Amino acid sequence: MYTKEKYEGEFCKWHKLSYEKLKETFKRWQDALEISWKQFLEEVIKNPNTGEWAREVAAYILKKEG
């Protein structure tokens, strides 16, 4: 983390950006495949093209949402 600031009480600036991107991209994944939010997060974590912040956020959400 490069700044102490927290956004929405959950993420720093960069992880918030990644979270927004995850939400946006999920819509495109849903259009491409029939996939649930949980499956999507699992796929994103596995994918080597995923950026490290996006992967961290996906893992965090997955853990939190069980």
The residues of the shown chain that bind another protein, judged by CB under 8 A, are 2-4, 14, 17-18, 21-22, 24-25, 28-29, 31-33, 44, 47, 49-54
- Find out whether 44 and 54 touch, Cβ atoms under 8 Å: yes
Alpha helices in the chain (DSSP H): 13-32, 37-46, 52-65
Closer Cβ to another protein, 28 or 63, answer by number: 28
**Least distance CB 65 / another protein (angstroms):** 17
**Least distance CB 19 / another protein (angstroms):** 9
- Find out whether 12 and 6 touch, Cβ atoms under 8 Å: yes
